Structure 1
Amino acid sequence: MDGNTPEIKRGRKYDQVIAGARDVFLAQGFEGASVDLIAREAGVSKATLYSYFPDKRILFIEVAKQECASQADRALQVDATDVPVREMLTAMSYKMMEFLTSNFAQRIFRICVAESDRFPELGREFYASGPKLLEDRLSEYFEHACERGELKIDDIGLAAMQFQELMKSEIFVQMIFNIIEKPTEAQVDRVISGAVDMFLARYGA
């Protein structure tokens, strides 16, 4: 947390509060998620909820941070030393796409953009626990792949961010602007195949 965000209290009902808040934020969005509703869903009193999170935005940041970190972990639960690059990137891409097209990810992105001026810590926490974490994990894998001779990359950090952006082609933007509600299986296959092909055309050894 930065200097503008209070330290989070961790106690026996912390996980309970986070789980309840996640369900409410997912169903109601940030503005629609009242403290009363979150407390009821979590099975705690408002006093208990406030003892952990005195501000709803702080609670949302914590929920978003944990969700992004969890998704990044799931996307990269592959032994980097054993899996060929195309297989690794393809498998990881489907997990990434599942998160990017989820209601939760869409809500997080919109809220971070909308609140970034008034509450910059929201954007910073989202970036650190989402895109930056994924960049670090991808970079670690790309280093292994370069050592094996499967990839040739001079700027690994840039390549990791480029791959994330390729994954956002078409579908993510169309969902953010409410052009489509959910992509078809064919649309997902097309974007992922194109992203992996383009990445390997540039960086494949």
Structure 2
Amino acid sequence: MNLPSRNASPGRPKDLEKRAAILDAAKALFPARGYDGVSMDAIAQAAGVSKLTVYSHFQDKDTLFVEAVKAKCEDLLPSDLFVARFEGPIRGQLVRIAHAFFRLITSDEAIAIHRIMSRQLPEDSHLPRMFWEAGPKRTQEAFAAFLKAEHAAGELHVPDCTLAASQFFCLLKGEYHARLLCGCSAPMESPDVDAHVDATVDLFLRAYGPGRR
């Protein structure tokens, strides 16, 4: 497990460096130990800061968990991927989004968090909702907004962007992601990932390409 460096980067504001160290610690510890297995003391120790500093940046563990999920998503699936650029064929941007999403959902950290969500939790647990809103929901809404912009520009024909976004990501997950969650699949080789992404994007374009009007 890689924990964050405690050395500040030259020229970086101290508060931002501490916040980044806290988030890095949270991103490492939550998947490794589970939500209940992580304390704010442990986060502080891993980040090389005081517990008071952790609370000054993140008011409670729930907030820190949500921000860690958001930060992990931003690491592998940056928001600028969903900016409609209208530079060249749309297929290229869809392929880039698909590859980034696939890397995210198949990362060790993402699989660990999904397994945590799959465990039996109390009926009143707010953890699944927090995770959903911080990660999958935000990603799906960002892609739906991208589709809406491409539809308005005539690059795609997508009558229901929310539905189409869900379909795209479900297609990308496919059987392989389900097998990963069950612990019965080895990492997919790069040529196989490329083939899976290309086939998914092509299927999506056959359904929602501009010629479907």
Which TM-score bucket, shorter chain as reference? 0.7 to 0.9
Deviations 1:111-166 (A, max 9, x none): 22326545643222222222222222222222232233332221111111110111
Whole-angstrom distance in 2 between the partners of 1:69 and 1:52 = 19
Q: Quickly say closer, same or farther: Cα 1:106–1:84, change in 2 above 3 A.
A: same
Aligned mates of 1:183, 1:197 — CA distance in 2: 20
How far apart, in 1, do the equivalents of 2:70 and 2:20 lie? 14
Match of 1:203 among 195, 201, 208: 208
User: Which secondary structure does the structure 2 equivalent of 1:183 belong to?
Assistant: coil
Provide the residue aligned with 1:66 in structure 2: 71
Q: Normalising by the residue count of structure 2, what TM-score does the alignment of the two structures yield?
A: 0.75
Residue identity opposite 1:40 in structure 2? Q
Say whether 1:100 aligns with 2:105.
yes
Structure 2: segments with no counterpart, 5+ residues? 1-13
| Number of the residue aligned with 1:162 | 167
1:25 aligns with 2:30: yes
- Distance between the aligned counterparts of 2:208 and 2:178, measured in 1? 25
What are the Cα deviations for residues 22-60 of structure 1, in whole angstroms up to 9, with x where unaligned? 233355554654655432211123454466668655533
- The answer to whether structure 1 residue 122 and structure 2 residue 139 are counterparts is no
SS of alignment partner, residue 78 of structure 2: helix
Counterparts of 1:38-53 in structure 2, within 5 Å, are: 38-46=43-51, 48-49=53-54
Letter of the 1:123 counterpart? P
Equivalent position of 1:180 in the other structure: 185
Per-residue deviation, 1:101: 0.8
Query: In structure 2, what residue type is equivalent to 1:130?
Result: G
Percent same amino acid at aligned positions? 32
Q: 1:144 to 1:83 in 2, by over 3 A?
A: farther
Q: TM-score, normalised by structure 1?
A: 0.77
Quick one: structure 1 residues 65 and 166, their matched pair in 2 at CA, closer, same or farther if it must change by over 3 Å? same
Q: Is the 8 A contact 1:145 1:151 kept in 2?
A: yes
User: What residue number does 1:134 align with?
Assistant: 139
| AA in 2 matched with 1:111 | I
- Opposite residue 203 of structure 2, the aligned amino acid is M
RMSD: 2.9
